[in-house]
Amino acid sequence: MPEKRNYTFKRTSVLKLKSDIQGLFDSGKRTNHELVKVIHLIKYDSSTPGVKVFFSAPKRLLHQANSRNTVKRRMREVIRLNYQDIKKLCKENSIELLVGLVWLKEYEGDYNKIEQNIVLSLQNIYNEIYEKLQSH
């Protein structure tokens, strides 16, 4: 019988501390996709393993609050459904992964397009962590 997946995204997985967000922007790796900029920072041998995610939809691009909220809600849903494998890898190897998702367009994107962008980034981050673990 296949393993039952727990598709939850708890509040503890949201990156909130200003110092952590600043560190992410200062020293994180950036990847631009069509709709979303993904910034990630990998901390190996961390005392707090897991994945923490930060969502941003700038007011200068999306002027109406309901548009910003819709975009962030869609990004959150994509993460909730697709980050389980990377979360498991991080927990097993005591890795802390900080991820920032920043919206880049002046319009609300289609959910499927957002999902493609974010899933591609998560796969790249997973591969980066996996290759680093294999080399040690």
Which whole number is the average pLDDT over 107-131? 94
Q: Where are the domains of the chain?
A: 28-135
Q: Assign residue 109 a region: left if phi > 0, alpha if psi is -120 to 50, beta otherwise?
A: beta
Assigned CATH topology for domain 28-135 = Ribosomal Protein S5; domain 2 (3.30.230)
87/105 Cα distance (integer angstroms): 28
What the block records as the tokens of 9 is: 């995204």
- Model pTM greater than 0.95? no
pLDDT digits 0-9 by tens, 60-118: 999 999 999 999 999 999 999 999 999 999 999 999 999 999 999 999 989 999 999 99
